[in-house]
């Protein structure tokens, strides 16, 4: 079934570390061979062996409208014929910035970059430059990309591979990153107060998706917001996963919370390598060339990336019903999964908001990294493979959210539920 993928994986390992260009893709924690994808259309991925899968990863978030969405493909094709990069300003970048501002009211100024990592890395540098303070607080199991400052108790691949300390991150850098448990207000307060006057920023995924999907407890983010105001700390919401996915204005709109700085990636690029950070003018004015906090990039604002992102965001802005449709599909899936999991007698938790959802095989609520880590990872591994064999492509890690795309149909969801029923009967 996976012969060609096996062959390609074997070949890849001679020239690419671990055969992949991003660790979670290697299937290392679930075992087996990563699928090598040839193409995708709508909700379906096709691998090198010609197998078809219903895709619940959506490229880890970006493909919210489905794969090879025609307006995006056409726009890229047209732009590509006018050259693929200039390293000089274009009107497209202004269109993009104006569109973002119209969708996210508390973004006064926005800088385009090429990835979510770059966006978060730049946002904390800016917060440090703005406040003159060095330390940041991040939450255990949250993942803000792979910049040194974030690889402390990080989620995503770091959690998947259970890496405690990342070699290469100096003790000096790590000591400026303080961590505490998500959803635990007392812990955040204690940490901030025991380092009073030293904290430049608190950075958080508003709806964490890098330890499975986790929901913020009612009032938690609002209280963190208040703490930031009281202690002159910059609140950075990392909306790389949630931005333009949970609502046109992202988690900020959905949860009615406002950050000082916000970071984006994934959906904002419509499947191209794009990130962005933006926020209050008072802070953003410190970015070079307006201010001295240096930040740059040859491919920042790249025309192909801009046109793919712009086309995607315009569709979302002009058709807000997409969000209702996505949520309806995700709730349908959730209710179906719940029914089957109850029948299976496996303890489980399903966390879901909008089009983000995940299953933890656990008998206790999963609200933070400790509770996510104590779920039954081995059962997830078996479930993952049983589903894959039936043509359902889930994230190959229990520490990742699933993302629905709007090309998924009710028929696809029903098939997914049939596959779930069979898979649950096969595993122990
Ligand atoms: N860190 C990404 C998910 N949270 C994985 C990206 C990838 O492997 O493509």
Q: What is the pLDDT of residues 38-83, one digit of tens each?
A: 999 999 999 999 999 999 999 999 999 999 999 999 999 999 999 9
Interval between CA 26 and ligand 1 midpoint (Å):
11
Count, in order, helices (H) and strands (E) of the chain.
Answer: 15, 14
Q: Is the pLDDT of residue 386 over 90?
A: yes
Token duo for residue 37: 């994808």
171 conformational bin, left if phi > 0, alpha if psi -120 to 50, beta if neither: alpha
**What pLDDT band is residue 158 in, cutting at 50, 70 and 90?**
confident
Question: Rounded mean pLDDT of the chain?
Answer: 97
Residue 385 · residue 30 · CB < 8 Å: yes
Q: What is the pLDDT of residues 304-324, one digit of tens each?
A: 999 999 999 999 999 999 999
Residue 393 · residue 54 · CB < 8 Å: yes
User: Going by CA atoms, what residue is nearest to atom 1 of ligand 1?
Assistant: 156
Counting atoms of ligand 1 from 1, which one is nearest the CA of 22? 8
* Positions of E strands within 85-210: 109-113, 135-139, 177-180, 199-204
**What pLDDT band is residue 345 in, cutting at 50, 70 and 90?**
very high
ω into residue 289 within 30 of 0, thus cis? Answer: yes
Token duo for residue 293: 């906090």
204 strand-pairing partners: 237
Give the three-class secondary structure for 84. coil
351 strand-pairing partners: 358
C-alpha–C-alpha distance, residues 214 and 205, integer Å: 10
Active site residues: 143, 238, 266
> What are the pocket residues of ligand 1 if the criterion is a CB atom closer than 6 Å to any ligand atom?
22, 24-25, 60, 143, 156-157, 210, 400
With CA atoms as reference, report the closest residue to 60 among 143, 137, 4: 143
Token duo for residue 10: 């074997």
Sorted by where each starts, the structural domains of the chain and their CATH numbers stand as 70-318 (3.40.640.10)
Alpha helices, DSSP H, located in 134-184: 157-160, 171-175
Q: Report the predicted TM-score, pTM, of the whole model to 2 decimal places.
A: 0.97
Counting atoms of ligand 1 from 1, which one is nearest the CA of 23? 8
Counting atoms of ligand 1 from 1, which one is nearest the CA of 395? 3
Interval between CA 27 and ligand 1 midpoint (Å):
12
Give the per-residue pLDDT at 162. 84
For the CA atoms of 26, 30, 33, 36, the dihedral, rounded to the nearest 10 degrees, stands at -60
User: Going by CA atoms, what residue is nearest to atom 5 of ligand 1?
Assistant: 24
Give the per-residue pLDDT at 160. 83
For the CA atoms of 247, 251, 256, 259, the dihedral, rounded to the nearest 10 degrees, stands at -130
Q: What is the pLDDT of residues 234-281, one digit of tens each?
A: 999 999 999 999 999 999 999 999 999 999 999 999 999 999 999 999
Counting atoms of ligand 1 from 1, which one is nearest the CA of 20? 8
Mean pLDDT of 274-303: 98
Return the best residue to mutate from 16, 21, 23, 24 for the ligand 1 pocket (most ligand atoms within 8 A of CB). 24
User: Going by CA atoms, what residue is nearest to atom 7 of ligand 1?
Assistant: 22
Token duo for residue 302: 């790249």
Q: Is the pLDDT of residue 383 over 90?
A: yes
Mean pLDDT of 356-366: 98
Mean pLDDT of 322-350: 98
Interval between CA 265 and ligand 1 midpoint (Å):
12
Give the per-residue pLDDT at 210. 97
Interval between CA 417 and ligand 1 midpoint (Å):
25
C-alpha 322: how far from chain center: 19
Interval between CA 152 and ligand 1 midpoint (Å):
17
Residue 399 · residue 156 · CB < 8 Å: yes
Q: What is the pLDDT of residues 11-34, one digit of tens each?
A: 999 999 999 999 999 999 899 999
Give the per-residue pLDDT at 67. 98
Interval between CA 141 and ligand 1 midpoint (Å):
14
User: Going by CA atoms, what residue is nearest to atom 8 of ligand 1?
Assistant: 22
Give the three-class secondary structure for 254. helix
Interval between CA 60 and ligand 1 midpoint (Å):
6
Residue 140 · residue 182 · CB < 8 Å: yes
Counting atoms of ligand 1 from 1, which one is nearest the CA of 401? 4
Helix axes 91-103, 303-318, angle to 10 degrees: 30
Residue 302 · residue 84 · CB < 8 Å: yes
Q: Is the pLDDT of residue 426 over 90?
A: yes
> What's the burial of 299, exposed, middle or buried (CB within 10 Å: 0-12/13-18/19+)?
middle
Q: Is the pLDDT of residue 165 over 90?
A: no
User: Going by CA atoms, what residue is nearest to atom 9 of ligand 1?
Assistant: 22
Whose tokens are 């801009």? That residue is 306
């Amino acid at each position: 079934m996976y012969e060609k993928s096996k062959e390609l994986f074997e070949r890849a390992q001679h020239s690419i570390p671990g055969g992949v260009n991003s660790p979670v893709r290697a299937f290392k924690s679930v075992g087996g061979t990563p699928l090598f994808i040839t193409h995708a259309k709508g909700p379906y991925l096709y691998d090198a062996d010609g197998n078809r899968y219903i895709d619940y990863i959506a490229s880890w978030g970006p493909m919210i409208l489905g794969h090879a969405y025609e307006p995006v493909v056409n726009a890229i094709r047209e732009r590509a014929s006018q050259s693929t990069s200039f390293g000089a300003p274009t009107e497209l970048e202004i269109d993009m910035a104006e569109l973002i501002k119209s969708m996210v009211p508390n973004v006064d100024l926005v800088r385009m970059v090429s990835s979510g990592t770059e966006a978060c890395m730049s946002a904390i540098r800016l917060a440090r430059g703005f406040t003159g303070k060095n330390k940041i607080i991040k939450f255990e199991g949250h993942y803000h990309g792979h910049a040194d400052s974030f690889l402390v108790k990080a989620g995503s691949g770091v959690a998947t591979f259970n890496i405690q300390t990342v070699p290469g991150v100096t003790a000096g850098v790590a000591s400026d990153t303080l961590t505490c448990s998500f959803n635990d207000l007392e812990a955040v307060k204690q940490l901030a107060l025991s380092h009073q006057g030293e904290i430049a920023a608190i950075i958080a995924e508003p709806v964490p998706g890098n330890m499975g999907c986790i929901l913020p407890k009612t009032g938690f983010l609002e209280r963190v917001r208040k703490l930031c105001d009281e202690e002159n700390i910059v609140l950075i919401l990392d909306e790389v996963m949630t931005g333009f996915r949970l609502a046109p204005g992202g988690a900020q709109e959905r949860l009615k919370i406002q950050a000082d700085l916000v970071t984006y990636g994934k959906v904002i690029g419509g499947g191209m390598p794009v990130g962005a950070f933006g926020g209050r003018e008072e802070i953003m004015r410190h970015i070079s060339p307006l201010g001295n906090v240096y930040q740059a990039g040859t491919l920042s604002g790249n025309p192909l990336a801009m046109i793919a992102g712009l086309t995607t965001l315009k569709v979302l802005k002009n058709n807000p019903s997409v969000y209702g449709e996505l949520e309806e599909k995700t709730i349908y899936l959730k209710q179906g999964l719940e029914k089957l999991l109850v029948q299976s007698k496996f303890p489980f938790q399903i966390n879901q908001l909008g089009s983000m959802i995940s299953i933890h095989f656990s008998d206790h609520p999963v609200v933070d990294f400790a509770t996510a880590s104590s779920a039954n990872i081995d059962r997830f591994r078996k479930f993952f493979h049983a589903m894959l064999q039936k043509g359902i492509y889930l994230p190959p890690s229990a520490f990742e959210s699933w993302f629905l795309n709007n090309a998924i149909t009710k028929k696809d969801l029903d098939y997914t539920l049939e596959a779930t029923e069979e898979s649950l009967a096969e595993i122990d």
